[in-house]
């Protein structure tokens, strides 16, 4: 199936696609990809999430959205630093692929679009943070992101504390990985669990 990708830079669009974004994010509660969102999350949680997203897009945020036949399947936030001395850095947040579409090469396609957008806006290094030992942590590590710091009390959920890794990689290094046949479509959400 053909995925259609687009970048959203305006908070106004969130009023149109907000329900779909929220549904995709909540669907990750089943595999605990993102802690704190569950099937029981209410309209107040949704409002906080969407308002925060609008605030980010008013600044230097860019939201990658991938959809198939109008259904949002992939999202990832790219947030560029605003200071002149640090605007070569951007953070990746809330990268999500719908369960049914994992392992089909869409992560690689999304990363390629992130590389292109990063170069367009002058970003040369990407950062992100992730819970230790998760599928996402293993996946980001596979694609070349390296830890530059670990926080023992990174996240708390249901009375438990989780360690987190702060990771980085240059845009050029990620681009090289994406063009290397060894990595191409080899590592996906569906098979990283067994590694």
Model pLDDT, residue 45: 85
Q: What range does the domain containing 75 cover?
A: 4-187
Cβ(101)–Cβ(28) under 8 Å?
no
Mean pLDDT, range 92-110, rounded to an integer: 92
Q: How far is CA 186 from the centre of its chain?
A: 19
149: enclosing H helix or E strand: strand 146-157
Q: 61-68 and 4-8: which strand pairing?
A: antiparallel
Q: What is the pTM of this model?
A: 0.88
Give pLDDT tens digits for 139-178: 999 999 999 999 999 988 889 999 999 999 999 999 999 9
Q: 89-97 and 125-131: which strand pairing?
A: parallel
Cβ(103)–Cβ(78) under 8 Å?
no
The answer to whether residue 194 is domain-embedded is no
Domain holding 74: CATH number? 3.40.630.30
The answer to whether residue 65 is domain-embedded is yes
Model pLDDT, residue 166: 97
């Amino acid at each position: 199936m053909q995925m259609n990708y687009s970048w959203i830079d305006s908070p106004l669009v969130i009023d149109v696609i907000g329900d779909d974004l929220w549904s995709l994010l909540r669907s990750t509660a089943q595999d605990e990809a993102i802690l704190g969102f569950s099937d029981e999350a209410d309209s107040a949680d949704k409002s906080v999430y969407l308002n925060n997203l609008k605030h980010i897009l008013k600044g230097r945020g860019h939201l990658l959205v991938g959809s198939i036949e109008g259904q949002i399947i992939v999202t990832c936030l790219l947030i560029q630093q605003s200071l002149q001395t640090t605007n070569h850095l951007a953070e990746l947040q809330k990268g999500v692929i719908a369960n049914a579409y994992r392992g089909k090469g869409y992560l690689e396609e999304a990363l390629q679009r992130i590389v292109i957008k990063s170069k367009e806006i002058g970003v040369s290094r990407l950062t992100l943070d992730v819970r230790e030992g998760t599928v996402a942590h293993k996946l980001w590590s596979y694609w070349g992101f390296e830890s530059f710091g670990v926080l023992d009390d990174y996240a708390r959920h249901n009375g438990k504390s989780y360690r987190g890794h702060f990771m980085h990689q240059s845009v050029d290094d990620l681009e090289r990985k994406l063009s290397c046949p060894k990595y191409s479509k080899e590592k996906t959400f569906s098979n990283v669990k067994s590694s």
